Amino acid sequence: MIAQDLETQLLSLTPAQKVEAIRILTQGININNHGITKTPGVMGADACIAGTRIPVWLLATYRRQGAKDADILDQYPQLSAADLVIAWLYAEAFPDEIDTAIHEQEQADAILDVS
Protein backbone atom coordinates (compact mmCIF):
# COMPACT_ATOMS: atom_id res chain seq x y z
CA MET A 1 0.00 0.00 0.00
CA ILE A 2 1.39 3.39 -0.91
CA ALA A 3 1.21 6.39 1.42
CA GLN A 4 -1.34 8.21 -0.74
CA ASP A 5 -3.75 5.26 -0.59
CA LEU A 6 -3.27 5.00 3.15
CA GLU A 7 -3.90 8.72 3.58
CA THR A 8 -7.14 8.47 1.59
CA GLN A 9 -8.33 5.56 3.71
CA LEU A 10 -7.39 7.25 6.98
CA LEU A 11 -9.17 10.46 6.06
CA SER A 12 -12.35 8.52 5.32
CA LEU A 13 -12.50 7.03 8.85
CA THR A 14 -15.03 8.21 11.39
CA PRO A 15 -13.63 10.07 14.41
CA ALA A 16 -14.05 6.96 16.59
CA GLN A 17 -12.21 4.83 14.02
CA LYS A 18 -9.41 7.43 13.91
CA VAL A 19 -9.04 7.18 17.69
CA GLU A 20 -8.59 3.42 17.38
CA ALA A 21 -6.14 3.78 14.48
CA ILE A 22 -4.04 6.28 16.44
CA ARG A 23 -4.10 3.97 19.46
CA ILE A 24 -2.78 1.11 17.36
CA LEU A 25 -0.13 3.23 15.66
CA THR A 26 1.20 4.78 18.85
CA GLN A 27 1.70 1.39 20.49
CA GLY A 28 4.82 1.03 18.37
CA ILE A 29 6.05 4.49 19.37
CA ASN A 30 5.61 4.21 23.12
CA ILE A 31 4.93 0.79 24.62
CA ASN A 32 3.43 2.39 27.75
CA ASN A 33 0.84 4.33 25.75
CA HIS A 34 -2.39 2.50 25.10
CA GLY A 35 -4.49 5.53 24.30
CA ILE A 36 -7.48 6.40 26.41
CA THR A 37 -8.63 4.49 29.47
CA LYS A 38 -11.63 4.67 31.76
CA THR A 39 -11.01 3.17 35.17
CA PRO A 40 -13.73 2.87 37.82
CA GLY A 41 -12.66 4.81 40.90
CA VAL A 42 -10.09 6.89 39.01
CA MET A 43 -11.08 10.45 38.10
CA GLY A 44 -14.75 9.51 38.24
CA ALA A 45 -14.14 6.92 35.51
CA ASP A 46 -13.71 9.76 33.02
CA ALA A 47 -11.68 9.14 29.87
CA CYS A 48 -8.00 9.70 30.75
CA ILE A 49 -4.72 9.47 28.93
CA ALA A 50 -3.61 5.89 29.56
CA GLY A 51 -1.20 5.50 32.44
CA THR A 52 -2.14 8.90 33.89
CA ARG A 53 -4.90 10.54 35.85
CA ILE A 54 -5.18 13.32 33.26
CA PRO A 55 -8.73 13.45 31.91
CA VAL A 56 -9.39 14.25 28.28
CA TRP A 57 -11.97 16.85 29.31
CA LEU A 58 -9.28 18.80 31.18
CA LEU A 59 -7.03 18.89 28.12
CA ALA A 60 -10.01 19.88 25.97
CA THR A 61 -10.75 22.72 28.41
CA TYR A 62 -7.20 24.05 28.07
CA ARG A 63 -7.48 23.89 24.31
CA ARG A 64 -10.82 25.71 24.32
CA GLN A 65 -9.18 28.42 26.43
CA GLY A 66 -6.57 28.90 23.71
CA ALA A 67 -3.69 26.81 25.00
CA LYS A 68 -1.42 25.44 22.29
CA ASP A 69 -0.23 21.84 22.33
CA ALA A 70 3.27 23.03 23.25
CA ASP A 71 1.85 24.87 26.29
CA ILE A 72 0.04 21.75 27.44
CA LEU A 73 3.13 19.58 26.94
CA ASP A 74 5.16 22.08 29.01
CA GLN A 75 2.64 21.79 31.86
CA TYR A 76 2.38 18.00 31.58
CA PRO A 77 5.85 16.70 30.65
CA GLN A 78 4.66 13.12 31.16
CA LEU A 79 2.48 13.51 28.05
CA SER A 80 3.66 13.12 24.48
CA ALA A 81 2.46 14.77 21.31
CA ALA A 82 0.87 11.43 20.40
CA ASP A 83 -1.10 11.54 23.67
CA LEU A 84 -2.54 14.90 22.66
CA VAL A 85 -3.44 13.65 19.19
CA ILE A 86 -5.32 10.80 20.79
CA ALA A 87 -7.02 13.18 23.24
CA TRP A 88 -8.15 15.53 20.45
CA LEU A 89 -9.46 12.66 18.36
CA TYR A 90 -11.29 11.23 21.36
CA ALA A 91 -12.82 14.61 22.14
CA GLU A 92 -13.92 14.91 18.52
CA ALA A 93 -15.38 11.40 18.51
CA PHE A 94 -17.27 11.84 21.79
CA PRO A 95 -18.14 15.55 22.07
CA ASP A 96 -21.22 15.03 24.25
CA GLU A 97 -19.20 13.06 26.80
CA ILE A 98 -16.50 15.74 26.93
CA ASP A 99 -19.02 18.61 27.11
CA THR A 100 -20.89 16.87 29.94
CA ALA A 101 -17.68 16.29 31.91
CA ILE A 102 -16.62 19.92 31.47
CA HIS A 103 -20.05 21.15 32.53
CA GLU A 104 -20.03 18.91 35.63
CA GLN A 105 -16.59 20.21 36.59
CA GLU A 106 -17.71 23.82 36.11
CA GLN A 107 -20.69 23.16 38.40
CA ALA A 108 -18.42 21.62 41.04
CA ASP A 109 -16.03 24.58 40.76
CA ALA A 110 -18.94 27.00 41.18
CA ILE A 111 -20.02 25.25 44.37
CA LEU A 112 -16.49 25.51 45.75
CA ASP A 113 -16.27 29.20 44.79
CA VAL A 114 -19.45 29.95 46.75
CA SER A 115 -18.15 28.25 49.90
Domain count for the chain, please give it.
1
* Residue 96 pLDDT exceeds 80: yes
pLDDT at residue number 30: 45
pTM equals 0.70
pLDDT at residue number 109: 85
CATH number at residue 60: 1.10.10.10
d(CA 27, CA 25): 5
* Residue range 60-90, pLDDT digits in tens: 999 999 999 999 999 999 999 889 988 998 9
Range of the domain at 9: 3-114
- Mean pLDDT value across residues 91-115: 89
The DSSP element (H or E) to which 8 belongs, if any, is helix 3-11
d(CA 32, CA 76): 16
pLDDT at residue number 112: 82
* Residue range 6-55, pLDDT digits in tens: 889 988 988 778 777 876 776 555 434 458 999 999 998 999 999 999 99
pLDDT at residue number 65: 95
pLDDT at residue number 99: 96
